[in-house]
Structure 1
Amino acid sequence: MSRQLSRDTAPEVAVRRLLHASGLRYRVNVPVPGMPRRTIDIVFPKAKIAIFLDGCFWHGCPQHATHPKANSEWWRVKLDKNMARDIETTKHLTSEGWTVLRFWEHESVEDITRQVTATVAAKRAATNKH
């Protein structure tokens, strides 16, 4: 487990590269405000947009999650805690006025980038109206 990347995974880097190429600037691996030991993968701080790119195995993707046979009970508890933590983090950020976008690692990098770009544009447009 110690060799598993928790940041700068291939999907994260690919999405960041496309976002940057489209002119968007963001921060990476930012601590979740008010929640120690949790980080947001990609953040647009002024717009309060948090993007998470979740790994299928570690976060329980309904399409691709696998269940190890060795030490299965330990893994079930571990992965259930990960999913509960994801829900808790999303609820916390949402209650603080953040827009939270979660994507699976298997999703198209181009589709993710389009959705993020549209969300950032919409949020900035709404902010500029005030």
Structure 2
Amino acid sequence: MADVWSAEKRSEVMARIRGRDTKPERVVRALLHRHGYRFTVNGPLNRSLPGRPDLVLPRYRTVVFVHGCFWHGHEHCGDFRIPSSRTEWWTAKITGNKVRDVRNEAALRAMGWHVVTIWACAVKTRAAREWLEKRLGKLIG
């Protein structure tokens, strides 16, 4: 199936996709803050750690990644589906992201960090946020 937009329009649309300060990240930050957890978002530690975690909780030696379901290939999630155009390219892209995520998580664990991954779908609805909120203490440690 051919793309419905021109190459210039597609480029413009893709360029507007945020890599940081996404809505799921802001929701997770609000949940953590409301429960008394303090963290850094753009601190030097965030930038120096493998994978550049979205949140670092130094007191708990914990890092949090908030993964978009599409970009990180969240299996069995309604928000993840390989596009029907350029399937091979997208499969390679998302597989590469998953491999990188596993490599970064292993490196962080080897450095003594506790790694928490929160999927965007876990904060999408009120019920999902409530479910996550009940488990925050166990996730963070």
Q: Give me the TM-score of the superposition, normalised by structure 2.
A: 0.75
Matched, 1:23 2:36: yes
Q: Partners in 2 of 1:11 and 1:22 — Cα distance? A: 17
Q: Partners in 2 of 1:109 and 1:31 — Cα distance? A: 27
* 1:48-87 alignment runs, 5 A limit: 48-64=61-77, 65-87=80-102
Which residue identity does 1:26 align to in structure 2? F
CA spacing shift, 1:114–1:52, aligned 2, 3 Å: farther
Structure 1 residue aligned with 2:125? none
Q: Partners in 2 of 1:78 and 1:114 — Cα distance? A: 34
Matched, 1:95 2:110: yes
> Deviation at 1:100?
0.2
CA spacing shift, 1:76–1:119, aligned 2, 3 Å: closer
Q: What RMSD over aligned residues (CA atoms) do the two structures have, in Å? A: 1.7
Which residue identity does 1:83 align to in structure 2? K
> Deviation at 1:119?
4.3
Q: Partners in 1 of 2:87 and 2:139 — Cα distance? A: 39
Q: Contact conserved, 1:11 with 1:53, CA < 8 A, in 2?
A: yes
Structure 2 residue aligned with 1:10? 23
Which residue identity does 1:47 align to in structure 2? Y
List 4+ stretches of structure 1 deviating above 2 A.
108-120
Q: Partners in 2 of 1:111 and 1:81 — Cα distance? A: 30
Aligned identity (percent) is 34
| Greater gyration radius | 2
Equivalent pairs counted in the alignment come to 118
Which of the two has greater strand per residue? 1
Unpaired stretches in structure 1, ≥5 consecutive residues = 123-130
Which residue identity does 2:61 align to in structure 1? K
